[in-house]
C-alpha cells in the first residue's frame, strides 16, 4: 500500500465532496491507496467525515491512516456515532490524544460519551485531567454540555488591559470569543461584556463600570431543556456555567445548543420507529434485525388487536360487503386527525405551553376542533355513501362513526402525550403507536358496531 502523506504537508484549496471524488477514493482503496492523501488534503474536515460515513467498515479502516493529522480531531467530531467508535478504536493512543487536543473540551466529552466498553476506557485515558471531570456530569445537564475553555479576566482590569491581553499567547482559549467574563479573586462570576461592545470603548474605562452585571448563567446541574429555552428566549450566543457557589467553571455556546437540538430531533425520529440513533447503516444484518424486530412485534400486536375487532363483525361484513370498503376510511381519517392533535400537543409540551392550569382548557379546545371537523367530514361521507351505494342508513352509519372517531382522536391525541410527559416519558417517542392503536380499534368498532345495530 502506498504510504500516507506527511501530516505536515500543506493543505490544498478546499473543495466539496463530490460523487466523482468519492468514487476516486473508493477505487483507490481497492488497490494501493494511491492519491487518497491528495484528495483528503483538498477536503474540509466535515467532508472527510461525510466520506467516512459513506464507506463500509472495512474501507474506513483503510482510510484512517490517510486522514491529515492536523484535522483529525475535527474529523472524528463530525462523524456519526458508529464511525466515531471505529475511529477511536483503530487510532493509536498517541494520535487519539493529539486529536482530542485539537478540540474544545465539550466536543471531546461528547465523543467519549458515545463510546462503550473497552473503547470508552481507551477514550477516557486520552482525556486531560480537566476533561475527565466533565465526563462525571450527568447527561442532560448544563455541565455535560459546557466547555472548559473560557476567556475570563480580573474585576480590576480596564478595557485597555483586556485588549493588551488579547495580544499575548494563551494555552487554552475558545476558538471563537464572543464574551469576556469578569471574575472576582476567588473566581466568582461578577459580570461579562461582549467583544463587540468592548472594542468600541475607551482603553481607560474600567470593566467594573461598563460590564453587564446580570450576566446570563446556568448551574452545572441545570437541565439542558432549561438551557435550550434560555438560549431561545434571550437570543444568547453564549452562556456562563457556574457551580453552586457561583464560581465560573465553563460556558455553553450557541453551536453546542444547536447540535443538541438537532441530535434530539434525530433521536426522536429514529426512536419513534423503534430504531437506535447509534445504529450504523453498514452494521451486520444480524445486528440490524435484532434491533428492528422488537418494534415490529409491538406493531404486530396492535395490528392483531385491530383485526380481532374486525373479526367480531365477520358475519355483518359478509352480509354487507360495502362495510369492508368503507371501514378503512373511518380508521384512516381518525388516525390523521389524531396525528394533527398529537403533533400540536407534543410541540406545545416541548415549548412549555401545557400546564396543569390550562390542560383542561386545551383539551376542550381540541375536542371542539375534532367535533367540528368530524361533523363536516361526516356530512360529506354520508352523501358519498348514499350516492354510491343507494343506502341512506349506510350514510348515517358512516357519518356517526366519523364523528365518534374524530372525538376519540382528539382526546387520545391530547391525553396520551400529556400523560406520558407527566410520567417522565418522552411523548414524541411512544405516543404514535398508542394513538394508532386507539384510532384503528375505535374506528373499526364504532363503524361496524353501528352497522350491526342500524343496518343488520
Q: Per-residue pLDDT tens for 151-186?
A: 999 999 999 999 999 888 877 677 778 999 999 999
What are the tens digits of pLDDT across the range 333-349? 998 999 999 989 988 88
- Does this model's pTM top 0.75? no
Per-residue pLDDT at 150:
92
Contacts of 230 (CB under 8 A, 6+ apart): 216, 218, 236, 239
Tell me: pLDDT of 455 over 90.
no
Q: Going by C-beta distance under 8 Å and a sequence separation of 6 or more, which residues neighbour residue 176?
A: 253
pLDDT of res. 273: 66
User: For position 272, what pLDDT does the model report?
Assistant: 67
pLDDT confidence of residue 275: 66
- Please compute the mean of the pLDDT values over residues 112-137 and round it to a whole number: 87
pLDDT at 11 over 60: no
Q: Would you put residue 128 in left (φ > 0), alpha (ψ -120 to 50) or beta? A: beta
| Calpha distance 338→333 (Å, rounded) | 8
Average pLDDT over residues 119-136: 87
Q: For residue 267, is pLDDT > 80? A: no
Contact 277, 267 (CB under 8 A): yes
Distance CA 353, CA 364 (A): 16
Q: Which residue has the cell 385491530?
A: 306
Q: List Cα–Cα distances, 422 to 336, 354, 358, 413, in angstroms.
A: 24, 11, 14, 15
Task: Give the lowest-confidence range in 80-84, 295-299, 359-363, 366-370.
Answer: 295-299
Q: What percent of the chain has pLDDT over 90?
A: 43
Phi/psi zone of residue 21: left (φ > 0), alpha (ψ -120 to 50 degrees), beta? Answer: alpha
Q: Using 50, 70 and 90 to split pLDDT, how confident is the model at 301?
A: confident
Confidence of residue 2 (pLDDT cuts 50, 70, 90): very low
Sorted by where each starts, the structural domains of the chain and their CATH numbers stand as 19-136 (1.25.60.10), 152-254 (3.10.580.10), 285-454 (1.10.357.20)
- Return d(Cα 279, Cα 281) in angstroms, integer: 6
pLDDT band at 5 (very low <50, low <70, confident <90, very high): very low
What's the rounded mean pLDDT across residues 3-16?
Answer: 57
Total residue length of the chain:
456
Residue 433: pLDDT band with limits 50, 70, 90: confident
CB 238, CB 178: distance < 8 Å: yes
pLDDT in tens, 279-296: 667 777 787 787 778 778
H or E element in which residue 194 lies: strand 189-194
* Residue 218, H or E segment: strand 217-219
Instruction: Say which residue the cell 490517510 belongs to.
Output: 66
Confidence of residue 142 (pLDDT cuts 50, 70, 90): very high
| Predicted confidence (pLDDT) per residue in 385-406, tens digit | 999 988 999 999 999 999 999 9
Which pLDDT does position 8 carry in this prediction? 47
Q: List, for residues 86-109, the tens digit of each pLDDT value.
A: 899 999 999 999 999 888 888 898
- In tens, the pLDDT along 195-248 reads 999 999 999 999 999 999 988 999 999 999 899 999 999 999 999 999 999 999
What is the Cα–Cα distance from 125 to 237, expressed in whole angstroms? 32
pLDDT confidence of 276, banded at 50, 70, 90? low
Residue 274 in this model has a pLDDT that exceeds 70? no
Condensed to tens digits (0 to 9), the pLDDT of residues 24-51 reads 888 888 877 778 888 898 899 999 999 9
Amino acid at each position: 500500500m502506498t504510504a500516507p502523506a506527511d501530516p505536515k504537508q500543506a493543505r490544498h484549496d478546499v473543495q466539496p465532496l463530490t460523487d466523482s471524488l468519492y468514487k476516486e477514493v473508493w477505487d483507490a482503496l481497492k488497490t494501493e491507496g494511491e492519491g487518497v492523501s491528495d484528495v483528503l488534503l483538498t477536503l474540509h474536515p466535515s467532508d472527510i467525515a461525510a466520506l467516512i460515513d459513506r464507506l463500509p467498515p472495512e474501507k474506513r479502516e483503510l482510510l484512517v491512516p490517510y486522514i491529515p493529522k492536523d484535522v483529525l480531531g475535527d474529523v472524528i467530531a463530525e462523524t456519526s456515532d458508529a464511525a466515531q467508535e471505529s475511529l477511536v478504536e483503530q487510532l493509536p493512543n498517541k494520535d487519539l490524544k493529539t486529536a482530542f487536543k485539537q478540540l474544545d473540551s465539550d466536543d471531546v466529552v461528547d465523543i467519549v460519551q458515545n463510546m462503550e466498553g473497552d473503547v470508552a476506557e481507551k477514550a477516557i485515558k486520552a482525556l486531560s485531567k480537566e476533561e475527565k471531570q466533565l465526563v462525571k456530569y450527568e447527561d442532560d445537564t448544563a455541565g455535560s454540555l459546557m466547555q472548559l475553555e473560557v476567556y475570563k479576566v480580573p474585576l480590576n482590569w480596564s478595557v485597555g488591559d483586556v485588549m493588551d491581553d488579547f495580544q499575548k499567547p494563551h494555552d487554552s482559549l475558545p476558538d471563537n470569543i464572543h464574551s469576556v467574563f469578569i471574575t472576582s479573586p476567588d473566581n466568582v462570576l461578577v459580570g461579562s461584556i461582549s467583544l463587540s461592545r468592548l472594542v468600541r470603548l475607551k482603553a481607560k474605562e474600567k470593566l467594573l463600570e461598563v460590564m453587564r452585571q446580570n450576566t446570563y448563567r446556568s448551574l452545572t446541574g441545570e437541565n439542558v431543556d432549561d438551557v435550550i429555552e434560555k438560549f431561545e428566549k434571550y437570543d444568547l450566543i453564549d452562556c456562563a456555567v457556574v457551580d453552586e457557589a457561583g464560581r465560573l467553571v465553563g460556558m455553553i455556546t450557541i453551536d453546542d445548543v444547536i447540535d443538541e437540538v438537532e441530535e434530539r430531533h434525530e433521536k426522536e425520529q429514529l426512536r419513534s420507529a423503534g430504531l437506535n440513533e447509534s445504529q450504523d447503516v453498514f452494521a451486520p444484518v444480524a445486528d440490524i434485525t435484532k434491533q428492528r424486530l422488537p418494534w415490529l412485534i409491538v406493531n404486530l400486536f396492535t395490528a392483531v388487536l385491530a383485526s380481532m375487532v374486525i373479526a367480531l363483525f365477520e358475519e355483518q361484513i359478509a352480509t354487507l360487503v360495502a362495510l369492508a370498503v368503507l371501514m378503512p376510511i373511518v380508521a384512516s381519517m381518525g388516525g390523521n386527525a389524531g396525528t394533527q392533535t398529537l403533533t400540536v400537543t407534543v410541540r406545545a409540551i416541548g415549548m412549555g405551553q401545557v400546564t396543569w392550569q390550562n390542560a383542561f382548557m386545551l383539551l376542550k379546545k381540541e375536542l371542539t376542533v375534532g367535533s367540528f371537523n368530524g361533523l363536516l367530514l361526516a356530512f360529506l361521507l354520508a352523501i358519498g355513501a348514499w350516492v354510491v351505494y343507494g343506502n341512506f342508513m349506510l350514510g348515517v352509519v358512516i357519518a356517526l362513526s366519523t364523528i365518534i372517531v374524530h372525538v376519540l382522536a382528539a382526546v387520545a391525541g391530547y391525553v396520551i402525550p400529556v400523560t406520558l410527559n407527566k410520567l417522565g416519558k418522552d411523548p414524541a417517542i411512544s405516543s404514535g403507536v398508542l394513538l394508532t392503536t386507539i384510532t384503528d380499534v375505535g374506528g373499526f368498532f364504532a363503524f361496524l358496531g353501528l352497522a350491526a345495530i342500524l343496518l343488520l
